[in-house]
Structure 1
Amino acid sequence: MTPPEQSLLDWKDGEIPVSRQFDDPYFSLNDGLAETRHVFLAGNGLPERLQEGFHIAELGFGTGLNLLALCLLQPAQPIRFTSFEAFPLSADEIARALDHFPEARAIADPFLTQWATGKRAFTLGSVTAEVIIGDARETLGQWTEKADAWFLDGFSPAKNPELWSPDLMAEVARHTAPMGTFATYTAAGHVRRGLADAGFTVERRAGHGRKRHMSIGVLA
């Protein structure tokens, strides 16, 4: 496993970060911000469900694009966001990636400034965020909170199967509040079965762009 702060990237077209380890881009080549809004926000019924104390958790922080998309909603009430990331990017790498999305980049400086100092807990507007560094197969089991909604945004299950294992999906369910939800860009059968076995009612929906399907679910 690559130590934290040493993620190795290639840059497609000079602007889209691609993990050398997983040979997978950090966001969709077909407008990653639009995909985030379609999959993770709309897929979890956001912003309609947001209320004071609402807690969102995420597997795979990456460039922070999902967090910034959430902040762009300008939630009226304080909400919480917790992300699990094994291979954190540097502030410079994140800034370079976010330049691809001017709307997100425009609000990113307070986050980037704190990230560059090593802070992994910070507040952006009404969103209190924490990024837990380490292998989610270890760190999620130690987490004591429960999320109202999950963004399952690891690298492709074909490239990073560890982040989609049945055991980890069971941990996701164990750390989900009653009637909590998940959304993910993947519709891989083994992922959907793992989530269903963990207790979620799983539904396949139309994906974003060229992706035919995505998955959403609610904890039964």
Structure 2
Amino acid sequence: MAEHVPEKAPSTEAVLDWHEGDMPYSRAFDDHFYCRSDGRLECGHVFLSGNDLPTRWQRATPFRIAELGFGTGLNLCETWRQWRETAPDDASLHFTSFERFPMARADIKRALAHWPEIERERAILAEKWPDAPAGRVEINLEPRVHLTVVCGVALESLGQETTPVDAWYLDGFAPSRNPDMWSVELMGEVFRLTVPGGRFGTYAAAGFVRRNLANAGFIVERRPGFSGKREMLCGQKPE
């Protein structure tokens, strides 16, 4: 199944509105890019805690995180911030994200300006972000921290990957707005590209998302969601 793209969506760049000051809203998918209460804290609750981080990156070998939906770069910046504070000195982080509509530099800077906690990361990301992101964007953010953003349709992009990862952030737009980012085919690719014992976390808790992850082979766990949301999902690939 091909990833659904709304008819009026552009082929490359995100088309945005701005709500409540600096909160980006996708007109293509009719959805906000992150939780309206606090996207940075949601990242910690859903993606880092859901993947048992930072506990699992306490090692010298490279730790690999992959993400569906780069968006504003918020998950990268918050992960990177916590990495700097907790990872061993000789550790390295490889963060790979798959994004259909990459944002412009000015929009990333504006969206992330809300959080002074990640100002350092925001400034470096914006400085190094390409003027016209396309294809495979490779950025050395700092020593031992590398970012890859693969621009294009997620299912096609994942199908070309071969390096398995330790942790997945499943952060596409809401399943009701963009169901193909949660399809059984895509979850199968996520499973294939996960190391034995690797994990995923997602804010999504829709029944078909849970079933697709389980059918792909993951052991799926329900946990309380962020900011009053009843549930989120996380899980593990059997070792």
Shorter-chain TM-score above 0.5: yes
2:121 aligned counterpart, secondary structure: coil
Structure 2 CA distance, aligned partners of 1:56 and 1:116? 21
- Match of residue 115 from structure 1: 129
Q: Aligned partner of 1:107: which letter?
A: E
- Match of residue 28 from structure 1: 35
How far off its partner does 1:118 sit?
A: 4.6
Structure 1 CA distance, aligned partners of 2:159 and 2:146? 21
Choose the corresponding residue for 1:47, options 51, 54, 57: 54
2:55 aligned counterpart, secondary structure: coil
Structure 2 residue 171 is the aligned partner of structure 1 residue 171: no
How far off its partner does 1:113 sit?
A: 1.2
TM-score (norm 2): 0.88
The Cα RMSD (Å) is: 1.2
Structure 2 CA distance, aligned partners of 1:114 and 1:124? 8
- Match of residue 68 from structure 1: 77
Cα contact 1:22–1:160 (8 A) shared by 2: yes
Choose the corresponding residue for 1:103, options 110, 117, 121: 117
Structure 2 CA distance, aligned partners of 1:71 and 1:123? 12
Structure 1 CA distance, aligned partners of 2:115 and 2:230? 24
Structure 2 residue 172 is the aligned partner of structure 1 residue 154: yes
Structure 2 CA distance, aligned partners of 1:207 and 1:156? 14
How far off its partner does 1:157 sit?
A: 0.2
- Match of residue 191 from structure 1: 209
Cα contact 1:71–1:124 (8 A) shared by 2: no
Cα contact 1:10–1:20 (8 A) shared by 2: yes
Cα contact 2:113–2:122 (8 A) shared by 1: no
Structure 1 CA distance, aligned partners of 2:16 and 2:224? 30
Unaligned 5+ residue runs, structure 2?
none
TM-score (norm 1): 0.96
Structure 2 CA distance, aligned partners of 1:58 and 1:45? 16
- Match of residue 129 from structure 1: 147
- Match of residue 93 from structure 1: 107
How far off its partner does 1:14 sit?
A: 2.0
Deviation >6 Å, runs of 4+: none
- Match of residue 26 from structure 2: 19
How far off its partner does 1:107 sit?
A: 2.2
Cα contact 1:82–1:130 (8 A) shared by 2: yes
- Aligned pairs, how many? 219
